[in-house]
Structure 1
Amino acid sequence: MANKLNKNNNIRDEIDSQSFDYIVVGAGTAGCILANQLSQNPKNKVLLIEAGGPDNWIWFHIPVGYLFAIGNPRSDWMFKTVAEKGLNGRSLAYPRGKVIGGSSAINAMIAMRGQAQDYDSWRQEGLVGWGWDDLLPVFKDLEDHFLGETEHHGVGGGWRVEPPRISWKILDVIADAAEGMGIEKIADFNTGDNEGTCYFHVNQQQGRRWSSARGFLKPVLDRPNLTLVTGGLADRLNFEGKRVTGITFEKNGQKITAKASGEVVLSSGSVGSIQLLQRSGIGPSEWLKSAGIDVFHALEGVGRNLQDHLQQRAIYKVANTKTLNETYHNLVKRAWMGVEYALFRRGPLTMAPSQLGIFTRSSEDYDRANIEFHVQPLSLDKFGDPLHRFPAVTVSACNLRPTSRGSIRILDDDIRSHPEIAPNYLATAEDQQVACDAIRVTRRLMQQQALKPFQPQEHLPGNQVGDDHDALVKAAGDIGTTIFHPVGTAKMGRGTDPVAVVDERLRVHGLDGLRVIDASVMPTITSGNTNTPTAMIAMKGSKMILEDSR
């Protein structure tokens, strides 16, 4: 039925004639896992609605395709932030995946859980079942890990994790330089403490991207009780009293209403789920009224508590070594990249955006790693621009646990309008201090003895930027950019929390039949890349739904 519905002109009749047990809105990282798990029982009729299309484009599958997918309206919602004061008035592109698999189809493919203390802090806020020890079995159940069944990893799950299939001498030496600063080389970032240096493990299989759609959705699309609709743009939730009974969405110019006898689950991410909630009259009263929306259920936290990882993209010119910059601009070598990938599934086309990771502390004020480096054997002004013609490396340091909080809000009731995204980067003195210290740590790293033969020269922020606080804060604003980790806009919290949107079982406070299960429910951002934690939340959330239905 899934394939039939995507081609059927009578899709409205097909949907209207049914009542589903579960409707999942958004077939991204979380939605694909939810659809898989909820439809395992053939008695459960599941409808999965995705506003994007199928992943039938080659660049969704070749890892380096993120360069072509990000910033392309075929695959990216093309959101932008407001002009940010902390970024000296700059506005940033804010990519979100517009395809089955969602952002896992266009992201960096980095498999990263974060730190045990991230989750223990959630449990300490009264969120029962969300501590590290509670969640480690869920992470393991999720995985199919190249390290095999171990204390920390699992096999047989839909979340494939492999080592990178390319190495670069300059990155090896940067790891040596970090070791010279006292940052140990480790074998695995995902044991609960990620402090150290290691090559990132990636969501790939033999050199091909492994999205949530590939791992969880496509293998089960032939289930007769699972219906997938692509190109279905969610409009509004439907209610009877305080119970959500379904959703109205648009496809091919038609408005279609789907009914849910069980639950509606929002898994459209920290932007999409918020748009739908607010358009349905659920959110801060003042925001809704100013957007021309009738307030159905005042919930002040919807769209607040936005957190994101801001990185300072330092670029260093290097000598006496190979980087991707000059390799790319050599036509013969560029052709060989394609041959190497086609024949062996190896080489630069298998590259994630970042290869080497370094987790360390920006100062002695922190008891655990609070900054993460993404180190790349390449440089460019921004995604979508060509690589520089000079050999260079990018050494980006991000604040893992920012204290600044932003917001996402709709400005009108138009289904196609983009929301106002205001991350509020570098709004606190602590975040400004971490940014300054991160640039200092970057400079110290690149001045290590191990790198002397490669003659690193600071291109950005540049030697003209001094070491005083004000100069470094301005530099951080000039070179700072998102690494695409928005979370927290539908915060999980107890009923006494004034900005909590969902409870510890991911049910929306004050409403029945509605859950949010995606990155938006994180109370605080995890200390690392956020895609794997989002997948974990989906796996745990699906178990909660099934438990509560008994």
Structure 2
Amino acid sequence: MTPFDYVIVGAGPAGCVLANRLSADPGISVLLIEAGGPDTNPLISVPQGYAQLLGDPDTAWHYPTRPFGPAKQTDVWVRGKTLGGSSAVNGMIYNRGNRADYDEWERLGNPGWGWDDVLPVFRTIEDHSLGASALRGADGPLQVSTGDGGDALLEDVLTAGGQLGWRRMRDLNETDEERLGYATATIRDGRRVTAATAFLHPVTDRPNLSVWPETVVDRVLIEGGRAVGVRGRQRGQDVEARAGREVILAAGAIATPKILQLSGVGPAVALRAAGVDVVVDSPNVGARMREHRVFLLQFRLAEDLGYNKMLGTEEGLRDVTAQYQANADGPLAAPSFEIAGFFKTHPELDRPDAQFQIAPVSFRPPAPGEAVQVEREPGMCCVAYLLRPDSEGSIRITAAGPDAPLDIDPNFFATEHDRTTAVGVLRGIRRLFAAEPLAQRIAHETMPGPGVRTDQEIIDAALTMGSTGFHAIGTCAMGPDDTDVLDPRLRVRGVPQLRVVDASAFPTMISGNLNGPVSALAWHAADLILQDA
């Protein structure tokens, strides 16, 4: 088989960016492999279609975790399974994180990843609806926009935040101060913008770029100690792809460590227990994982406001569907949460340590085997979480077979920092909903409920009634030490010609959602790859 120069595994935000950048040179041949199918599901372009996409096994992977918390329940961690990856099924919130996040990466021994290095990348990839500035771009391939506002209920949220000293902003990425405003989202003209629509589809006619959907990569081929390709299954048939220069894993913080471990690169004890021959003993493959544990708060409204009547009844849903089909606007054109904000759980902190997102809709408790449904009575919901957890979980294979379940240990709230901050997060959100004029709109809190008051009750509520943030990072983290899975140029230690470019490379958590940071990581990584060629 004639090798490609580069074989990229995973067509999410990282893989689509890499395919675009590396194939820009017609003399370089690139193969992009995606386990899911083409992004032809019509719901992908509809912003509010995300809820159905997340529950559909044709468009999303569902990874159960270990039991945890006082109820010993499991989470299901969801990732995109289509061209565009998780950017095709996520809530579309676009954040970049803080200056201090990236400067911390550099301080930890990763030169070239500080804010002054990364900000120009963001400005290059962005096409922001607010136009260009010193801190944002307007000519890039990734279209993002900010809501215009006007809804009375959401305006009251913003005014209430102002009562707490939180600054209202049009562009939430312009400062790292306490702030709130209409969320910036990967939406333009009422349609979702995925990594595939932004970076991949505009270049798929390049003759040097090949795309293989419906191809599951099981392992990296390592011969003579070097990565030479990948082996997997394409629509049920065994398949191989050879790489003359590099194999690049961009499958995400769950699938990338799985592929490495199945390839014999990982903690020796765990690999042997799973029946995998050890090629490189790399103890932190699958370790050092950090993830947001999310509070779910819901409130009953005192008036018939919000979207419940429109989204929770057959008649209302028909009306908003017709509105969207005619004009690509209305509730179906909104991101998962229309308001976003950042605040400090303690005033002496130098920057916010909590994030929240609010939508004028509320949901019924899900019944076993049924999709989440909108409540009939008026309500609104808020998700909130501590931004930079330092509790570390792990991901391990359990057998040598590629279809064996993973052992995902979230290990939420393992540190005093995380527990203390989480308590401050919930109490901060309650202050927001008790502030005027929002307080006049609220009848009562329905979840977790006013009975949850003590620190331990708050932590237990986060574990039993909360959710994952879908923001796992760090499972193949870069760093300067021999025990770090990747070096600062994202090369896998111990295996030449093998690189990792996705959220698993993050050494610490970014202060916000990950779609934008992963895209920027990949854009910058493409420069490193081409320099090393």
* 1:30-429 equivalence runs, <5 A: 30-85=14-69, 88-164=71-147, 168-193=151-176, 195-380=178-363, 381=365, 384-429=371-416
Q: Between 362-371 and 229-238, report the one with greater CA deviation.
A: 362-371
- The Cα offsets for residues 112-148 of structure 1, whole Å up to 9 and x where unpaired, read as 0011000010111111011111110011111111122
Q: Following TM superposition, by how much is the alpha carbon of 1:421 offset from its aligned partner in structure 2, in angstroms?
A: 1.3
Q: Which moved more, 1:295-304 or 1:238-247?
A: 238-247
- Native 8 Å contact 1:321 1:454 kept in 2: no
Following the alignment from structure 2 to structure 1, what is the Cα–Cα distance between the partners of residues 127 and 81? 25
Which one-letter code corresponds to 1:119 in the other structure? Y
Q: Deviations over 1:8-35 (max 9, x none)?
A: xxxxxxxx3x211000011111101100
Amino acid at match of 1:173: D
d(CA) in 1 for partners of 2:157 and 2:88? 29
Which moved further from structure 2: 441-450 or 468-477?
468-477
Please give the per-residue CA displacement for 1:260-305, whole angstroms capped at 9, x wherever unaligned. 1100100000011111100000000111011110001110110001
Q: CA deviation at 1:364?
A: 3.0
Residue in 2 aligned with 1:434?
421
Aligned partners of 1:318 and 1:391 also within 8 Å? yes
Q: Are the equivalent residues in 2 in contact too, given 1:302–1:501 (CA < 8 A)?
A: yes
Aligned partners of 2:143, 2:439: CA distance in 1, in Å? 38
Select the residue among 525, 529, 533 that pairs with 1:541: 525
Match of 2:474 in 1: 488
Paired residues of 2:18 and 2:523 also in contact (CA < 8 A): yes
Equivalent position of 2:462 in the other structure? 476
Q: Which amino acid in structure 2 is aligned with residue 213 of structure 1?
A: A
Give unmatched runs, 5+ long, in structure 1. 1-15
For the residue of structure 2 that corresponds to 1:119, the secondary structure is helix
Q: Distance in 2 between matches of 1:300 and 1:158?
A: 38
Tell me which residue corresponds to 1:444: 431
Q: 1:165 and 1:182 mapped to 2: Cα distance?
A: 22
The amino acid across from 2:491 in the alignment is: R
Q: Which moved more, 1:182-191 or 1:278-287?
A: 182-191
The one-letter code sitting in structure 2 at the alignment partner of 1:460 is: M
For residue 502 of structure 1, the aligned residue among 486, 492, 497 is 486
SS of 1:256 mapped into structure 2: strand
1:456 aligns with 2:443: yes
The answer as to whether partners of 1:166 and 1:348 remain within 8 angstroms in 2 is no
Is the 2:170–2:181 Cα contact (8 Å) retained in structure 1? Answer: yes
Distance 1:139 1:339 in 2: 36
> Residue 477 of structure 1 aligns to a residue in which SS?
helix
Distance of aligned partners of 1:168 and 1:83 in 2 relative to their CA distance in 1, 3 Å threshold: farther
Structure 2 counterpart of 1:532, one-letter code: G
Residue identity in the other structure for 1:502: L
The aligned counterpart of 1:13 is none
Distance 1:494 1:227 in 2: 34
Residue 449 of structure 1 and its aligned partner are, at CA, apart by 2.5
Question: What is the CA-CA distance between 1:476 and the residue it aligns to?
Answer: 2.3
Q: TM-score, normalised by structure 1?
A: 0.94
Per-residue CA distance 1:92-128 (angstroms, 9 max, x = gap): 1211000010000000111100110000101111110
Q: Which moved more, 1:261-270 or 1:146-155?
A: 146-155
Q: Aligned equivalents of 2:455 and 2:231: distance in 1?
A: 52
Distance 2:9 2:175 in 1: 31
CA contact (8 A) 1:169 1:321 kept: no
**How far apart are 1:471 and its partner, in Å?**
2.2
Supply the distance in 2 between the matched residues of 1:140 and 1:458 (Cα, whole angstroms). 40
Query: C-alpha offsets along residues 485-542 of structure 1, whole Å, 9 cap, x if unaligned?
Result: 111100010124x3x1111111011221010000110000100111100000110011
The match for 1:9 is none
Secondary structure, counterpart of 1:274 in structure 2: helix
Q: Distance in 2 between matches of 1:418 and 1:534?
A: 26
Aligned partner of 1:19 in structure 2 is: 3
TM-superposed deviation, 1:194: 5.1
Q: Which moved more, 1:119-128 or 1:244-253?
A: 244-253
Distance apart, 1:453 and its partner CA: 2.6
SS in 2 for 1:374: strand
Give secondary structure in 2 for the equivalent of 1:487: coil
Aligned mates of 2:180, 2:149 — CA distance in 1: 17
How far the C-alpha of 1:193 sits from its partner, in A, is: 1.2
Which piece of structure 1 moves more, 105-114 or 316-325? 316-325
Instruction: Look up the SS of the partner of 1:416 in the other structure.
Output: coil
Report the alpha carbon displacement of residue 458 of structure 1 after superposing the two structures with TM.
0.9
How much does 1:482 deviate?
A: 0.9
Task: Look up the SS of the partner of 2:342 in the other structure.
Answer: strand
- Residues matched between the structures, number: 529
In structure 1, how many angstroms separate the alpha carbons of the residues matched to 2:85 and 2:492? 23
Partner Cα distance (1:192, 1:244) in 2:
42
Whole-angstrom CA distance in 2 between matches of 1:524 and 1:435: 18
Q: Secondary structure in 2 aligned to 1:95?
A: strand
Does structure 2 retain, via aligned residues, the 8 Å contact 1:517–1:538? yes
* C-alpha contact (below 8 Å) 1:82/1:420 kept by paired residues: yes
Structure 1, residues 449-475: CA drift from partner, whole Å, max 9, x if none?
A: 212431331111111223x22222222
Cα deviation code 1:26-79 (max 9, x no counterpart)? 111110110010000000010111110001111111111111101210111111
Q: Is the 8 A contact 1:27 1:101 kept in 2?
A: yes
Does the C-alpha gap of structure 1 residues 415 and 144 become closer, same or farther in structure 2, counting only changes over 3 Å? same
> Displacement of 1:165 after TM fit?
6.4
Partner Cα separation in structure 2 for residue 185 and residue 212 of structure 1: 29
Distance 1:129 1:452 in 2: 46
What letter matches 1:31 in structure 2?
G
Q: Provide runs of 4+ in structure 1 moved above 4 Å.
A: none
Deviation at 1:156, TM superposition (A): 2.4
User: 1:277 aligns to what SS in structure 2?
Assistant: helix
Change (3 A) 1:63 1:166: farther
RMSD between superposed Cα atoms in Å: 1.5
Q: Is the 8 A contact 1:115 1:194 kept in 2?
A: no
Amino acid at match of 2:382: V
